[in-house]
Amino acid sequence: MSEFIVCRLASKTFALNFVEVEEVMNAKKGTPLPFSESWHEGMVTIRGDVFTILNLRKKLLLPASSESSEDKMILLSRAKIALLVDQVEDTASVEDNQLKSNEEEWQRELFPTVLEHQGALVPVIDMDAFLASTKTN
């Protein structure tokens, strides 16, 4: 069985495996860095550690939104990265054999599987693929 955090970006919902998550917290403003990608929201210090803030909405080319008090940062457990999302909605538990292949070809690289949650198919982000897509030369 796998546990997931279900998040919202614009009108889209996606899931992230709990194994990848160290903490969920309210979003904070980062210190911008010059010459960075548009989805790179800067750096922030949290309890003495420096995290890179990546705006998942911008990275996935979803429509822009104004900042909200519901915005959250998901601190990853394997890298000092904070993913900026609109909302953390729920958690989901799924048997591993219930994960299905993603039929949406345009999403398949970052979201190879989907899970069923509250009657809808929710894409599950592949953290290896996501982190690889954030590397710049």
Residues 7-51 have pLDDT tens digits of 988 888 999 999 999 999 999 988 988 888 888 889 999 999 999
Q: For residue 90, what are the β-bridge partners?
A: 6
84 found inside a domain: yes
137 found inside a domain: no
pLDDT above 90: residue 83? yes
Q: How far apart are CA 63 and CA 119, in angstroms?
A: 25
Q: What is the mean pLDDT of the chain?
A: 88
**Mean pLDDT, rounded, for 126-136:** 84
7 close to 92: Cβ distance less than 8 angstroms? no
pLDDT on residue 73: 94
**Mean pLDDT, rounded, for 54-59:** 87
27 found inside a domain: yes
101 found inside a domain: yes
Contacts of 75 (CB under 8 A, 6+ apart): 21, 22, 23, 24, 25, 46, 51, 81, 82
8 found inside a domain: yes
44 found inside a domain: yes
Q: How far apart are CA 39 and CA 104, in angstroms?
A: 23
5 close to 21: Cβ distance less than 8 angstroms? yes
Q: How confident is the model at residue 137 (pLDDT cuts 50, 70, 90)?
A: very low
pLDDT on residue 67: 65
Q: What is the CATH number of the domain that holds 81?
A: 2.40.50.180
Containing structural domain, residue 95 = 2-132
Q: What is the domain count for the chain?
A: 1
pLDDT on residue 62: 82
Helices in the chain by DSSP H: which ranges? 56-59, 127-133
pLDDT above 80: residue 107? no
